Each structure stands twice: as structure tokens, then as C-alpha cells.
A and B are shown apart, each in its own frame.
Chain A
Amino acid sequence: MYARLSGEDIATRIDGPLLFLQRSVDVGLNEAVEVEDRTGRMRLGRIAALDQDSVTVEMLDATAGLGIAGARVRFFGEPLRFHVGPGLLGRVFNGVGRPLDGGPPVAAQQAFRVDGLPLKPSARQAPSEFLETGVTVIDLMNSLVRGQKLPLFSGGGLPHDRIAVDIACNARLPGAQRGGEQRAAQRVERGPAQGTGHGPDHGAERDDDFAIVFAGIGIPHGSAEFFRSRLEQSGALARTVLFLNLASDPSAQRLLTPRFALTAAEYLAFSEGKHVLVILTDLTNYCEALREVSASRGEVPSRKGYPGYMYSDLATLYERAGRIRGRPGSVTQLPILTMPNDDITHPIPDLTGYITEGQLVLDRALHRRDLYPPIKVLPSLSRLMKDGTGAGLTDPDHPALAAQLYAAYAQAQQTRMLASVVGEDGLTEQDRRYLAFGERFETEVVAQTGRRTLAQSMEAGWRALRGLPQHALTRLSNQQIQTHLAAADASDNADASDDAEAAADNQAPADGEDVDADARMSSGMGSGTGVYKGADQGAAAQSPDRGRGHE
């Protein structure tokens, strides 16, 4: 199939992104073509329709400057493929898989169709393993599970770029995990992965089992530079494959960028056995490109001019997250989209929400108060959290703590509304405690300055709950209240708990890596929450082993 046919002077008409050719060679639907114009510039295209006389090619590059005369068309004889191999990590590509970092092309081991094939539902492994992002609102309240797709709904001017990069730098597999023997056995069977430079495997999950695929879709030049330099500085680029499709690149290429990125992710996950986190930003640009291309094809538009097949099209991206039974590795997706006019009912977030397993929503009010990350807790949801947290998975008390924080914060929000009507003086003592909790929750649990391990996130959660009357904590068992809240509640004193942490610090060796990360993060982030920084660092110094008590 690699015999490449070519034809000269066969173009008959150019109409927007569509190029019409005489049918001189026998080609198949969806196959890739490359068009070289008189100046030698190459453009990619895809065969969209065939009839007796002509071939319709959908160009994936700008057609401006392309003429009928002198155009040379090469037929690939197969759909568009991405050539992948062990050297993928640490590389930077453009939106259609060409190196942008000046390096040589990747030594191809395999070539995968960028469209991918649908995974059989019966072949899927139901996701159940926790992935730590370092963000408390995600890890503690809306846990991300390997194989899940959890989008971030943002808006113009909100710091989703920063959140994306922070997660790319900080995300990791939470320490040694269960099932080590099983993994080791699978490794032996997995031929190609032997040559990827893995050291001896002791069954524990290691940091190099984890990889990031980061795709910028239609992003401004400034954001692209930000992503690249931040990943480089933090050293995360070494475990990352970066795809950058700039806002100035042809919009048709945006339709390919996430597909190239996901193809790379699938290779890393299912051929190399890594756990891959795919961050796609910004899906709104993707949908705009979809609308643009659809309109130029003259298709019947659906809601707000977007094509009727946008749901199916988005699904072909999002559904590529998952795990396969009997294979190591996973593809987890964190797509980011900006809601036009902050409208969650807009077709883009709406259709996304119908496909993905939950959503995280950013909040302008929190952002205005300079709380970072400004994730709105109440409408955020991780549908798979129940499958990936709790005893044997994260921490036995994790789900109950999350539920209690959720319930208490919902109560606090209601109390805020009441207080805005009747005034704070009209509130009962309990109501005032909830108001204080709401404030504490937002500034100490939601807001954070550096990476937090799950153990640190949980500690922040327990700390916020102190001060609420214990009888109101209906989602916690008496045992949990006893263990985590009783002592501190008696004194109800922040200093006391700080002392306790200092003591814990002395007993357990500080996790050097964590502190480093924290320092790195602090330098890269604004210090708007400086008041609460002390509390965070106190937590950061704690041993991370507390969250891993399930071993």
C-alpha cells in the first residue's frame, strides 16, 4: 500500500477547502493525499468523495496560493497515519505530527491511523485506579480515574492555561500500587515494550510509567510559548509529547491535532504500557473549526450553526480514553474548553457533558478573588470517582470526607444566600459556623499554591471541617470523626494543629521531591493567596505516606 501514485495537472477546480481532481487513478475513500504547488509547498488533504469522473479532496491546509496549473498530487493509498516509535517522549510537533523542535523525524516503529478504531465495550476495563493531579478540588472532591475523560469547562480570561500546565507538571501515579505481580506477568508477554528502556520491574508503578500528551488546539502564539517554556523549565517536557496547533494555522488542521495527539497517546499506552494523561486545550477551537469546515461543505447546520454530527465527532475523540482488559497502560483525558459567554448550555459544553464522565467548572467569582485554581465545586462532578476511591484504592476515608465537604459546602452556600437576605446578624450560631466554613473551604481547600499530594489534600479537608459542630457531620461515621476531628475540635485552635504537623514533620522524612515541586510551583505562580501559603507549606512538609495507607 506504500506505492505512492502521483498525478500532475489533474486538478480541475478549487472551491474553498475543496479541491476537485480528474479521476485518473484508482483511489479509496478517506485516503490521504499531498498536494505540491508550483513553489514546492506541500499541503495535506483527504479524499472526501468519489464519482465516475472526479475525486473530491478536502484540503487540511489553507488553499490560498494554490493554483490549478502546476499542482502535483501524490496519493498515499491509505488513510492518514502517524508514525510513532520509542523516541516520541520529549518531542514537540505541530498539529499534523511534523516535528517543530528542529529534531529529526521520529524513528517509526509503527504507523497508526490517526482516526483510530472504536474500542469494543467488552474489551474495556472499567476504570478504577486513581490518578493524582496535585489539585485538591480534583483529587479530593472529583477524583480523576485512569481511563476516564473529565473535561474542564472554562471561560475567556480564566486561568485554564495555567491549570493545564500545572497538572501536566504535577500529575503522577500515586506511588506503588496493587497488582504488581499481575503487571509483571503482562510485561513479559509484551514484546515491543522491552526495548523502550525500562529498567527491571519490581511490580511497583514508577514515574516513568507515566506520560503526558499535551495538545494545544488553535491556541495563540503566546500560550504556545507559555506551555513550551513552562514544560521545559519544570523538566516535565521529558515525559511529554507536545502538539502545538497555533491559532494562525489553517483551521482544518485543528480537526487533526487531537487525533494525532490521541494516536500518540494510544501508542504510549497500549504499545509501551504507560499511563498517559492527555490534555487537550482548547476544544472550543476544535468545534469552531468543525463548524467552519462543515459550512464550507454546504452541510445542513444544526444548533447554532454547528453540524448535526458534532456529538458523534466529539465522541470519536473523547471515547478514545480508556483501558483495555489484559493490557497495561491507560489513556486518561482532560480536555479543556472555553464556554462561549460562560454558557454551560451552549452546544459545545452541552454535547461534551453528554459524552464525558463528569466535568470540572471554573468560576469567575473565585477567580476575581484571586483564588487559584478557581474550580467551582458544586456543579463539578466526576462520575467515576466512586469506582476509583476508597479503601484499597486511595484512602478508606476519602469518599466520606469528599461527601461531607460537598454537603457542608452546599449548606454554606445556602446560608450565604440566606445571609444576603436577612443579614448576618439574623443567623443562628450554627449558620455562622457554616459561613466561616465556606470561607475556610474556599481559601484553604480550593485555593492552593503548590502541588498537594492526596494526603495533604485530605488533611486540608479535615482541617476545614474542624469548627463545624460534629453532630452536623452526617456523612462521616463516628469513627472517622473520632480519628480525624476529635482532638483538634477540642482545642479548636489552628496553632495546635500546626504544632501537630510540625511534630509529624520531624518524625517522617520530608519528601524531597515534593518540596522541590512546591518551590518550583511557588515561583511560577502568583502569590495572591500568600496569607494561606503557610498552611499549605505546613501540609506539604508532611509525609506523603499517609494517603497510601492501603498498601
Chain B
Amino acid sequence: MSARAIATWLSGPVLRAAPEGAFVLREAVLVGEQHLLGEVIRVARDEITIQVYEDTSGLRLGEVVQGTGRLLSVRLGPGILGRIFDGLLRPIAFDPNDTETAWVQPGLHQRAPGRFHFRPSVAIGDALTPGAVLGEVAPEAEPGPERDLAEPGPAGSGPADEAEAAPRLRQRCLLPPDAQPGELIALAAAGEILEDAPVGRVRAADGSEYAIRLAHPWPVRLPRPVAKRLPADEPMLTGQRILDCLFPIARGGTASIPGGFGTGKTVLLETIAKWCDADVIVYVGCGERGNELAGLLAEFLELEDPRSGRPLLERTVVIANTSNMPVAAREASIYTGITVAEYFRDQGLDVALMADSTSRWAEALREVSGRLGELPGEGGYPAYLSSRLADFYERAARVETLAGGQGSVSVMGAVSPPSGDFSEPVTNHTRRYVGGLWALDVRRAQSRFYPAIDPLSSYSNSVQDLARWWHREGCTRWEALRRRFLTLLEAEARLERMARIIGRDAMPAPQRVTLLAAQLVNEAFLRQSAFSAIDRFASPQRQAVMMRLIGRFIEEAEGLLERDVAPEHLAGAPVFRSLIRMGEEIGEGDWERFSALDRELTATAHRLVEEVEAVQTEQARQTEGDANAGRGAA
């Protein structure tokens, strides 16, 4: 450990130093008196090159670079849940009593260890393998000193008071995956323990002993090992109809959200973070707006997790590296995020990771690469952009953990293509590695149609696998209806163009039916307000019911067409408006109102047929001899 080097060359965030002792590539180092965090990115016999993750202003030649003997790592422990960190998992919480802490100051700050309640599930003498579970960890009732994401002052103790009321997420203490297997020779009793205090000792096969703590370090660029990968055949439900029903993502799957500015990438990611059925959310704000993250923090503190009734923030880890924070740390933040996600996955939890935005990460890669004088590739990005993207997305998986449980990491990454042009390198390379694409459409966004996902250019590769799940859950027609919706939308796009020229009213009735049905699919099903208290979340049951009802409407409309009822009659009926507004009006579990809507639809269809028939008979009687006259009037 503790090799030293002396700085000999400085330029921006890159420095070179003359080493005294051995450094390894990607080793974390501390630079200067302020202990700025850096990483070794090149090693030569008499010179090492270091990328510093913080503002280097004031750094001088001759400053000491201290090696840590470890690859750039983050400290993973139960205390990271519910907190906010920078791109290197250092706390950036704000102490409201000291507003001078409002700015990010350079220099190393470690997370203060939290206190937790530990309950062992193993016994002394047990043989442990890496990744084995030692026991359960529950947060202590008392808020730690850093519980300051909560509102300032006495209000901060609010969430803690309710701690007994609802169960909080149980975490597990693991033997680190890189530890040696061995025999447990000491174990703490059940009770409170600090994160960095030993909970047990293990004697390895070679006789060496080491202590186990609740928290352990892990190198961010190294995927954590698993027993095996499992097929992704279970959906990660987002509560968003257009995603769950048209372009679903599986647990352990990946999806990319490309969209120009103002198309709602961030709102969509935040909405998924709020309502998806993962156990833990890792939200990486990578080079985006500070005010948005402030809003997210405030909102997550207020909103309740629909499953546990606890504040959403308690199941969330926020990794914030806003656009004005040091660029090099932005490059690391993506890896930090996925490492944190893997840590929770290894405890047998389902984790969803949101990265907003991977384009900013790629730009950080480009910037650092430029400073190193590397040969630029497409769009100025380094040639290894594609393989780095692959590295990142490949870490998403549903797995059997080393301890034998099941866990998953699902990854959703926003992409911000310059000028909304999807042919640029980051969008293009991302497309090759993700299982789903949720393409955001400027036109939909500008007409305030949210989520502005374009159904014609989006896709999901896991539809076949997930159709079985929907079938098992009782929605047997999921796949058929999904296909029906998509073909309708495709037909609509074609007909819309014609309608714009000749006007809707001049089109033949079958095409008007198509347009009407597509309108219903769009307005009633795909549009879903993230800010509506009723409609912001839709359970699979509610989605299935709505899907079936719209399917029924399509059938009725087509049936009426054969009976010579013009689609405008149906569109004018009150039931059509009720159908369009059903997402807004009918909440979860209100199945009776959905059934009533179904009955009203049938009744309306009957009534319309009767009306038309009445008119026809009337006309047939009046103009004997010309049987076809009535048809035109309908």
C-alpha cells in the first residue's frame, strides 16, 4: 500500500507525477493537502498519469500523490439507502443549520457510519462462501446524523417517529464477494452495531483471519460476481400503460430513452422511479439540472411507496453529479450507480437503475479522452465509446446470487441526442445493446401528449417472454390486443396524412373507424398524466381491464360499421367520452365502474343499431322501390 508520487505536470483535471513505489492502473489516489480524489489512468516506469475527480484550482507542482493500494472503489453498506451522493458515492447532504455547506467543496469526505440493528442468521462454526448472508440488517429507529434530506429542524425527526408503524426494507449483511471462504469464528450478537464495526471474524482455509463489517468496499469498474444469470421472463412493471403493455421491460432488462430536449425524458424516468415495482431504486442524475434533482428529492420525501407506505426516498439511492459538478466524476458516476445496484441485487432484491443522461456520461468520456490526446473517433467520441456502453448495459441482469437467492438489476438510460438526431453515435451504439427502445417524439411532446413515446419507432425485445406472464396473470388476450393496438396506430399514421389533405369527413367509413379507434387508443390508453393523482399509476389489473374495454370498443365499432352505423354516432355517444376519460376518472380497484362502462358500451351499440334500423325502415316505407336510399342517410 501507500506508494507515493510527486506531481510534475498539471493541466486541468489531468496531472502527471513521478512515482516512488508501485502504482497500478485504475488505482485510486489522493492528491495534495486537500486529498482530492483521483485515479491512475496511465502507468510508465518513471511517470504516472492521474485523472483528478475534483476542481484542481490551486494545485501546485511538488504536491504529494498518495496511493491507496486499491482500485477506485466505493464503500457499500446499508447506510447508503435513502441518501444522496456525488458520482463517487461521497455524501453531499446539506446541513440546513449551516448554509455554508450549500456548495460542493473539493476534498475527500467520507460517509459517517450509520447505526443499524443486526440479527444474525448464521452461527459460529458455519462454513461461509463469498456472498453468503450473515444476517438481516434493519435501520435503527433513531435518524442518523445525515438524515438531513428530510426537512430541516425538528421536522427531521418526523419520518423516524413513524418507523415502527410500517416495516422498512430489510437489508442483508453479506460476506464480500471477493472474500476468502472460511469458517466463522466470531459473531456479534443481535443488536445495534455501527456500519464499520466488525460483526464477525472468518478463518480462511490458509489459516488467515479477517473481520467482516456491515459495509465493504468494491471497485466500481468491476462487475460483482453472481452464481448464474437467469432468463428475463418476468416484467418489471412501471405502472405506465404504454410501457407495460406495448413496450415492456423485463426484470434484469435494459431500455434506452432517446429524446431531444423538452420531450420529457426526465419526467418519464422520475415517473418510473416512483411507481415501478422494484425494491430499490438507484437514480443517477448524470450531468443534468440541479433544480430537477432538488424537486425529485422533495417529491420522493413526500410521496409514499404504494407497496410499503413508507416515503419513496427510503427505497432510493440518489447519485447526483449535476452538469456543473466536475466532469471526470460524471464519467465515474454511471459505474458507481450500477455497482450500488449490484450490491442490493446481491441481497436478493430487485433493483431498477435510472441513468439521466447517458449522453452526458459519454461527453465526459469524450472530454477526458480529449485531454489525454487520444485519437478521436466518430463525433469526437473516443473509439471505445461503444465497448464502454456495452460494459455498462451488460451489467443489467436477473441472476441467481452467490447466496442462492434471486435478484435483478434493470437499467433504463436516457439519451440526449444533439438536435434530436437519433443517428448520432451515442443513440446508435446504445441501440445495439439495449432490449427496449422508448423513443420520445418531439411532435407528441409539443402537442403536450405525455408520455411522448412514439409507438411506431419504439420497440421491446422481451414481448414474447413477457406474454406468458400476462397469460398466467389472467390477461389471456394481452399479446393479441397489443398487436391490434400497434397495427391500428400504424394505420392511423398512414391515414392521418391523407386526412390532413382531404379532411377527415371526406374519408370512407372504414377508415374513419380506424381513426376513431386509434384516437381512443392514444387518448384513453397511451396518454397518462404523470401529475394526475388517479392516473399516474396503473396496476396490471387496471391496465388489462382498460385494454379489454378498448378492444371491445374496436369490435363494436367494426360491428356497427357492418350494420351501416357511421362511426360519428359512436363518437358522439356519451360512452365514448367516458372511455376517453376512464384513466382519469376510474381509480384502482373500482372494477364495478369499469363493468358499468362495458355494459354502457353494449347498450349504446344496441341503441345505435336500433336507431339506424328504425330510420331505414321508415325511409324504406316512404320511398318504396329505392331500397338503397336509406343507406346514404345513415
Contact = CB atoms under 8 A, between A and B. Distances in A.
A147 interface: yes
A27 B59 CA distance: 8
A121 B289 CA distance: 9
Contacts of B325: 118
Contact of B327 (A30, A309, A347, A386): A309
A51 B61 contact: yes
Contacts of B297: 121-122
B84 interface: yes
A347 B261 CA distance: 12
A326 B152 contact: yes
Interface in B412-452: 416, 418-421, 446-448
A326 B96 contact: yes
Interface in A477-504: none
A127 interface: yes
Interface in B460-508: 501, 503
A327 B103 contact: no
Contact of A120 (B60, B102, B152, B323): B102
Given A29-B58, A355-B323, A127 B291 contact: yes
A418 B96 CA distance: 57
Contact of A115 (B57, B287, B376): B57
Q: Which of B96, B318, B323, B376 has the most CB of A within 10 A?
A: B323
Given A79-B57, A354-B416, A421-B501, A120 B262 contact: no
Contact of A49 (B10, B298, B320): B10
A229 interface: no
Given A308-B367, A311-B363, A124 B294 contact: yes
B152 A316 contact: no
Q: Which of A123, A302, A319 has the most CB of B within 10 A?
A: A123
Interface stretch (A134-142, A364-372, A376-384, A519-527): A376-384
A324 B92 CA distance: 14
Contacts of B323: 311-312, 315, 318-319, 355
Nearest to B13: A29
Contacts of B8: 51-52
Given A309-B327, A311-B363, A381 B262 contact: yes
Interface size class, chain A: 35 or more
A353 B84 contact: no
B9 A29 contact: no
Contacts of A321: 291
A345 interface: yes
The secondary structure that dominates the A interface is mixed
B294 A126 contact: yes
Given A29-B56, A354-B261, A325 B94 contact: yes
Interface string B275-300: 00000000001010111011101100
B418 A347 contact: yes
Contacts of A125: 294
Given A127-B291, A320-B324, A120 B57 contact: no
A357 interface: yes
Interface string A295-322: 0000111110000110110011011111
A117 interface: yes
A78 interface: yes
Contacts of A381: 262
B101 interface: yes
A355 B289 contact: yes
Contacts of A299: 370
Nearest to A148: B291
Contacts of A308: 363, 366-367, 370, 380
Interface size class, chain B: 35 or more
A424 interface: no
A353 B103 contact: no
Contacts of B57: 28-31, 79, 113, 115
A524 B370 CA distance: 50
Nearest to A314: B323
Interface string A9-42: 0000000000000010011111100000000000
A357 B266 CA distance: 12
Q: Which of A121, A346, A353 has the most CB of B within 10 A?
A: A121
A246 B9 CA distance: 36
Contacts of A384: 291
B104 A312 contact: no
Contacts of A78: 58
B168 to A, nearest CB: 21
A119 B10 contact: no
Interface in B177-210: none
Nearest to B32: A28
Given A115-B57, A124-B294, A308-B380, A50 B103 contact: no
Contacts of B291: 124, 126-127, 147-148, 321-322, 357, 384
A300 B369 CA distance: 10
B314 to A, nearest CB: 16
B172 interface: no
B73 to A, nearest CB: 23
Contacts of B105: 117
A121 B93 CA distance: 8
Contact of A312 (B287, B290, B294): B287
Given A28-B58, A120-B101, A354-B261, A48 B11 contact: yes
Contacts of B367: 308-309, 312
Given A312-B367, A387-B295, A118 B58 contact: no
Contact of A28 (B60, B96, B99): B60
A239 to B, nearest CB: 25
A208 interface: no
Interface string B1-38: 00000001111100000000000000000000000000
A326 B104 contact: no
Contacts of B448: 406
Contact of B322 (A27, A29, A118, A353): A118
B383 interface: no
Nearest to A387: B295
Interface of A: 23, 26-31, 48-52, 56, 78-79, 113, 115, 117-127, 147-148, 299-303, 308-309, 311-312, 315-316, 318-322, 324-327, 344-347, 350-351, 353-355, 357-359, 378-379, 381, 383-384, 386-387, 406, 410, 418, 421-422
5 contacts: A50-B11, A52-B8, A309-B370, A345-B418, A354-B261
A-B interface, 5 closest residue pairs, ranked by CB to CB distance from nearest: A345-B419, A315-B323, A124-B294, A123-B94, A121-B293
